[in-house]
Amino acid sequence: MPSPDLPKNDEREIQDIVHELSQDIEKDRARRKKIQRFLVLSSVSILSFGILTLVSYLLYLNFSVTELETQVKAKDKSLKEMEENLNSLMVQEQLREENYLTSGQDLDSSLASQVEENLEFLKETTTGYKGRNVLRGNEKYPEIALTFDLATGEELSTVLRLIERYNIRITIFLSNERPSDTSGSFFLRSNLDYIKKIAKSGKAEFGNHTWSHFNYLRSITETSQKKRLVLDYLSKQVLELPRMAEEMKRVEDIFHSLTKSNIQKYYRLPYGALNQLILDAHAKIGYKNHIMWSNNSKGSLDLPDYISKPFVYRLVAKGKKEMVKNPHYKTSRETIEFLEAWEASDPHGMNGAIILMHLGGPRKFDKLITILPEFIETMKAKGYHFVTVSEVLNDSLDK
């Protein structure tokens, strides 16, 4: 028969097992709660730190923006003050110019006295000097002097190609084209480079066209202070002999610095504006020969490449005008025909002829320099040689 205690032992054992399981479950719950509490606290800490960092960054940005706005306002105030000062200087300059324009008879009377005194001085100081104005070379020989005034210089590259392609010699008269120490033809790097290349070619000589490109005759005789102030081609002061010498010397120095050689003592004054007194004054400072350009019954060999307007207005009645062909404008074809007629009408043909063209100018289409290949080939076929001014003036045939 089974023992009566056995069920009680089994029951106690089962109870112990249940108790142990209950304790394990409680422990597991406690552990999960700790983990959950840790995760919640960690998340809250991380979130709080992120919020704090973001708030700090926003406060920093706000401070930086405020500081930048303060700096911008300060600089804006400084710029306004500078602008006011600049405008003040501009106004002062304008008033100065207007005072010159409206000052009336007194300034012009004073200027007239300066002009008269300068003319008297030039007459006295040039006694014994005789300058020469050369319009044509030796008419015995079939030689043509193709000469160029520098102007803006934009056609220097074309000239270099021409002298190399056709094996001709030319003369270039150099000028800065404006009375400036900071701008002009001599302040363009490309111009200086091409002048050096052309000089190095040995196919060109260089003469002097003055630094400032003033109208010398007007700059010596003009008695209107208003005109001197407004017109760029007039010197602001009366043009005296020391200034004439300086105009030449500055071009000489530029050329020597570029080429390490001296410029030829030939010169050409802008616009051909001169008289015997001006010629004598330049003879005194070492320039005896002024090189003009040739003329005959057909006209001047100062080719109008600087005339850019094919049409101009002409007044036909009071308040009315009509558009007509510009009588001074020549197309490239008209220029070729003119040169042919010039040679045919002259008893010496083009022997010793001096032609003037410009290296750059206002004409933007149908530029006259484009005629040179045809003109050079035509003249060469007729037996002409293209030589420098020095060569066209001498007593020998230069080849």
Task: Give the residue carrying structure tokens 């009071």.
Answer: 318
- Break the chain down into helix, strand, coil percent, rounded to 5: 55, 15, 30
Neighbours of 137 (CB within 10 A): 24
**Tens of pLDDT along 33-55?**
777 777 777 777 788 787 888 88
**CA–CA separation, 62 and 67 (whole Å):** 9
Q: Which pLDDT does position 15 carry in this prediction?
A: 74
Instruction: Give the least confident one: 101-110, 141-150, 296-305.
Output: 101-110
> Angle 332-345/372-381 helices, nearest 10 degrees?
30
Using alpha carbons, list the distances in angstroms from residue 176 to 157, 188, 217, 278, 348. Answer: 18, 10, 19, 20, 36
Three-point CA angle 292, 133, 396, nearest 5°:
85
Looking at residue 37, its pLDDT comes to 79
> For 350-386, what is each residue's pLDDT tens digit?
999 999 999 999 998 999 999 999 999 999 999 999 9
* Residue-level length of the chain: 399
Tokens of 138: 């030796």
Q: Is the pLDDT of residue 62 over 70?
A: yes
pTM of the shown model: 0.74
Task: For residue 148, report the phi and psi dihedrals to the nearest 5 degrees.
Answer: -135, 140
